[in-house]
Structure 1
Amino acid sequence: MDLYSSFKLVHVIAAMAWVGGGLTLIAQAIFRIREAGPREVLEVTRNMGLLALRWFLPSSALTLLSGLLMALLGGLWTQAWIVLSLAGFAVTFLTGHFILRVRGEKVFALQTEGREHEAVQEALALIRVSKFDYAVVLMVVFLMVLKPQWNDPAVIGGIAAVIACAGLVFLLPPKRRSTPRAQGENASR
Structure 2
Amino acid sequence: MDLYELLKLAHVGAMIAWIGSGLGLLVLFAAAEAWHDEGDVLRVVKGASILGPTLSVPSGLIVLATGLGLAWGGGYGWEAWIVLSLLGVTAVFALGAGVVGPRLEWATLVWERDDDPEQALACGRGAMRIARLGQVIQFTVLALMVTRPGWEDVGALTVMAVLAAVAGGLAMRPAPGSAEHA
- Same fold, TM-score > 0.5, yes or no: yes
**1:12-31 correspondence to structure 2 within 5 Å:** 12-31=12-31
**1:73-88 correspondence to structure 2 within 5 Å:** 73-88=73-88
Structure 2: which 5+ residue stretches go unaligned?
none
What is the TM-score with the length of structure 2 in the denominator? 0.90
User: In the superposition, relative to structure 1, how do residues 95 and 24 fare at CA in structure 2: closer, same or farther (>3 Å)?
Assistant: same
- Please tell me the residue identity of whatever aligns with 1:14: A
Aligned residue number for residue 171 of structure 2: 170
Bigger Cα Rg: 1
In the alignment, the residues of structure 1 paired with residue 160 and residue 116 of structure 2 have an alpha-carbon distance, to the nearest angstrom, of 39
Aligned residue number for residue 110 of structure 2: 110
Aligned length: 177
| Offset, 1:9 | 0.8
Structure 1: which 5+ residue stretches go unaligned?
178-189
In the alignment, the residues of structure 2 paired with residue 125 and residue 158 of structure 1 have an alpha-carbon distance, to the nearest angstrom, of 28
What is the TM-score with the length of structure 1 in the denominator? 0.86
Answer whether contact 1:38 1:124 (CA < 8 A) is retained.
no
**1:51-62 correspondence to structure 2 within 5 Å:** 51-62=51-62
**1:38-187 correspondence to structure 2 within 5 Å:** 38-111=38-111, 112-171=113-172, 177=182
In the alignment, the residues of structure 1 paired with residue 38 and residue 82 of structure 2 have an alpha-carbon distance, to the nearest angstrom, of 39
| Offset, 1:114 | 1.6
| Offset, 1:125 | 1.1
Coordinate RMSD, CA, aligned: 1.7
